[in-house]
């Protein structure tokens, strides 16, 4: 594989982005470098795409997202060395630039999907670590005979349970940060909702107004709605309260207003919305399971391309809360992701240049592990025929998954590396064996179909 020069990449990107002075903030997620600019007209999209190592450039709701791959932290470390670029930038400048760009390039649906995806994306490492710890627990008890009463089990169980019990805290911080508000106040709101006298409490009232009983540790919608309202209150107070009073009164008034409104109005609405979403999605799945999972398998590369894949997390959490597993979204994405890997490896086999082979192999191996953005942007869409091969492989794999009743028991990035996520907590090996078969079939079909289509493409 061709080794990347991250220093040269950083220099090239900054130059084509209009220089240090044009970059308000620089952050990154799992695979993308995210920039907010002062003057978008100075951003040379084609020039950035031409920088070696850059897979694609996406403009989404006020951000220029430069697709790099899982090694984006190495590039980000070089970006941080530029003295004129501050990680995160200033709240005021970043907010103004993002809003301005959203008005010119975005729409309501794009903004919603961008907000949801941007909220859940930073939390994915926590979900993967905590979710797969649940699979480790299943292995320890069913294979290695570790007692559920042992200290070892207790420690691993705490890691797994804390991930999802305190999820509103993580989501609160991420959502508030995404809205250019105060992330710690967002986390504070999540912590308040989880406090023992609030979470699942019965018979509460606020100045005589009854508070509906809601179990906040099993849903993410209440804290998201609460943070949306909190951000409006916070920004209003930041604008109108005198500077010398802001430190004390902005956070105090923000929380005194936000918490009651969330408990009385937004929390119950979010809880109801989550329940209805789970019931609706599960009803669609129950009507025709093979077709529903097949559709997810076919469309996953498209969702990744348009940045919609992370926006499915609320549905996943709703399903987990309703039926204790995800038989649809992650289950359909698993064969789709590994089919992308097969398609990329086939494209690498047919590639003529060393660079194309390197990109194909790297993207293929990464996709087999569950991260498909390098493959989607670097191989599938530029060549087209690997995209068709991956969609066919993902669709057939999804159809097979639906027919055999495959499901995912813990939240993790769907792929071979997350195979323990398919271990049945009850001890049965059926689901994990089915999952292995489904993913192998998807890889083989994605690989073979891409080879066949690629040969016909070359003849034409």
Q: Are residues 230 and 274 in the same domain?
A: yes
Say what the pTM is: 0.74
Query: What is the three-state SS of 71-107?
Result: CHHHHHHHHCCCCCCCECCCHHHHHHHHHHHHHHHCC
Residue 116 covered by a domain = no
Question: Is pLDDT above 60 for 2?
Answer: no
Q: Are 127 and 135 in contact (CB under 8 A)?
A: no
Residue 231 covered by a domain = yes
Question: Is pLDDT above 70 for 124?
Answer: yes
**Across 196-217, average pLDDT:** 94
Q: Are residues 312 and 252 in the same domain?
A: no
Q: Which residue has the higher pLDDT, 216 or 309?
A: 216
Q: Are residues 42 and 24 in the same domain?
A: yes
**Across 341-351, average pLDDT:** 94
Please write the tens of the pLDDT for every residue from 425-439: 888 889 999 999 999
Residue 23 covered by a domain = yes
How high is the pLDDT of residue 66?
Answer: 92
Question: Is pLDDT above 90 for 204?
Answer: yes
Please write the tens of the pLDDT for every residue from 248-298: 999 999 999 999 999 999 999 999 998 888 888 889 898 999 999 999 999
Q: Are residues 205 and 323 in the same domain?
A: no
How high is the pLDDT of residue 87?
Answer: 54
**Across 94-102, average pLDDT:** 40
What is the band of 104 on the pLDDT scale with cuts at 50, 70, 90? very low
Q: Are residues 411 and 353 in the same domain?
A: yes
Q: Is 369 a catalytic residue?
A: no
Burial code (b: 16+ CB inside 10 Å, e: under 16) for 437-447 equals: ebbebbbbbbb
Q: Are residues 297 and 250 in the same domain?
A: no
How high is the pLDDT of residue 170?
Answer: 95
Q: How far is CA 198 from CA 107, 264, 273, 321, in A?
A: 37, 12, 20, 19
Q: Are residues 271 and 301 in the same domain?
A: no
Question: Is pLDDT above 50 for 141?
Answer: yes
How high is the pLDDT of residue 327?
Answer: 95
* % of residues, the chain, pLDDT over 90: 52
Beta partners for residue 36, in sequence order:
25
Residue 125 covered by a domain = no
CATH number of the structural domain spanning residue 46:
3.30.1360.60
Q: Are 17 and 64 in contact (CB under 8 A)?
A: yes
How high is the pLDDT of residue 108?
Answer: 67
Residue 140 covered by a domain = no
Q: Are residues 190 and 245 in the same domain?
A: yes
How high is the pLDDT of residue 187?
Answer: 97
Q: Is 63 left (phi over 0), alpha (psi -120 to 50) or beta?
A: beta
Domain end call among 224, 249, 284: 284
Residue 442 covered by a domain = yes
Residue 195 covered by a domain = yes
Average pLDDT value for the chain: 88
Q: Are residues 243 and 340 in the same domain?
A: no
Please tell me the total count of domains within the chain: 3
Domain end call among 231, 258, 284: 284
The whole domain housing 56 covers 6-106
- The 8-class DSSP code of residue 421 comes to G
Q: Are 78 and 7 in contact (CB under 8 A)?
A: yes
Dist. CA 314–CA 449, nearest whole Å = 33
How high is the pLDDT of residue 86?
Answer: 59
Catalytic pick from 29, 330, 344, 369?
A: 29
What is the band of 107 on the pLDDT scale with cuts at 50, 70, 90? low
Domain end call among 284, 301, 327: 284
Q: Are residues 451 and 354 in the same domain?
A: yes
How high is the pLDDT of residue 71?
Answer: 84
Q: Are 36 and 66 in contact (CB under 8 A)?
A: no
- Which of these, 431, 370, 371, lies nearest to 401 by C-alpha position? 431
What is the band of 131 on the pLDDT scale with cuts at 50, 70, 90? confident
DSSP for 104-132, please give it: HH--HHHHHHHHHHHHHGGGHHHHHHHHH
Q: Are residues 230 and 330 in the same domain?
A: no
φ, ψ for residue 62 (rounded to 5)?
95, 5
Dist. CA 412–CA 242, nearest whole Å = 46
Supply angle C-alpha 311, 316, 321, rounded to 5. 140
Residue 142 covered by a domain = no
Please write the tens of the pLDDT for every residue from 142-188: 778 889 899 999 999 999 899 889 999 999 999 999 888 999 999 99
R_g over Cα of the chain: 23
Question: Is pLDDT above 50 for 98?
Answer: no
Burial code (b: 16+ CB inside 10 Å, e: under 16) for 189-212 equals: bbbbbbeeebbeeeeeeeeeeebe
Q: How far is CA 179 from CA 11, 58, 248, 350, in A?
A: 29, 19, 21, 45
The two structure tokens encoding residue 320? 């987990």
Q: Are residues 407 and 308 in the same domain?
A: yes
Q: How far is CA 90 from CA 24, 25, 86, 234, in A?
A: 7, 7, 8, 16
């Amino acid at each position: 594989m061709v080794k990347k020069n991250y220093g040269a990449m950083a220099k090239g990107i900054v130059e084509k982005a209009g220089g240090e002075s044009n970059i308000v903030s620089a952050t990154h997620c799992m695979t993308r470098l995210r920039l907010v600019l002062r003057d978008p007209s100075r951003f040379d999209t084609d020039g950035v795409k031409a920088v070696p190592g850059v897979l694609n450039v996406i403009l989404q709701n006020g951000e220029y997202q430069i697709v790099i791959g899982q090694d984006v932290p190495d590039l980000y470390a070089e970006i941080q060395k530029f003295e004129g670029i501050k990680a995160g930038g200033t709240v005021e400048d970043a907010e103004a630039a993002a809003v301005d760009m959203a008005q010119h390039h975005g729409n309501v649906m794009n903004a919603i999907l961008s907000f949801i995806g941007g909220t859940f994306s930073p939390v994915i490492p926590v979900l993967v670590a905590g979710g797969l710890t649940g699979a480790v627990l299943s292995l320890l008890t069913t294979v290695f005979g570790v007692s559920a009463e042992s200290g070892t089990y207790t420690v691993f169980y705490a890691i797994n349970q804390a991930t999802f019990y305190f999820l509103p805290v993580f989501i609160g911080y991420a959502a508030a940060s995404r809205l250019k508000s105060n992330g710690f106040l967002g986390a504070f709101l999540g912590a308040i909702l989880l406090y023992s006298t609030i979470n699942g409490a019965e018979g509460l009232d606020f100045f005589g107004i009854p508070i509906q009983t809601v179990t906040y540790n099993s849903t993410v919608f209440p804290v998201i709605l609460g943070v949306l309202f909190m951000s409006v209150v916070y920004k209003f107070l930041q604008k109108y309260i005198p500077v010398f009073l802001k430190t004390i009164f902005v956070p105090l008034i923000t929380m005194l207003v936000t918490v009651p409104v969330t408990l009385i109005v937004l929390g119950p609405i979010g809880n109801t919305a989550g329940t209805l979403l789970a019931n609706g999605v599960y009803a669609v799945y129950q009507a025709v399971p093979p077709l529903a999972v097949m559709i997810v398998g076919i469309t996953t590369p498209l969702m990744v391309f348009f940045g919609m894949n992370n926006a499915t997390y609320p549905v996943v959490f709703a399903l987990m809360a309703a039926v204790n597993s995800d038989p649809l979204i992650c289950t359909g994405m698993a064969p789709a992701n590994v089919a992308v890997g097969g398609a990329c490896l086939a494209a690498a086999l047919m590639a003529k240049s060393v660079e194309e082979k390197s990109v194909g192999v790297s993207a293929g191996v990464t996709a087999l592990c569950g991260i498909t953005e390098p493959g989607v942007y670097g191989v599938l869409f530029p060549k087209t025929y690997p995209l068709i091969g991956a969609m066919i492989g993902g669709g057939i794999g999804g159809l097979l998954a639906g027919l055999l009743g495959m499901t995912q028991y813990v939240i993790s990035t769907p792929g071979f590396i997350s195979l323990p996520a398919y271990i049945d907590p009850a001890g049965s090996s059926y689901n994990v064996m089915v999952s292995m078969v489904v993913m192998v079939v998807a890889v083989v079909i994605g690989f073979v179909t891409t080879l066949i289509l690629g040969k016909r493409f070359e003849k034409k």
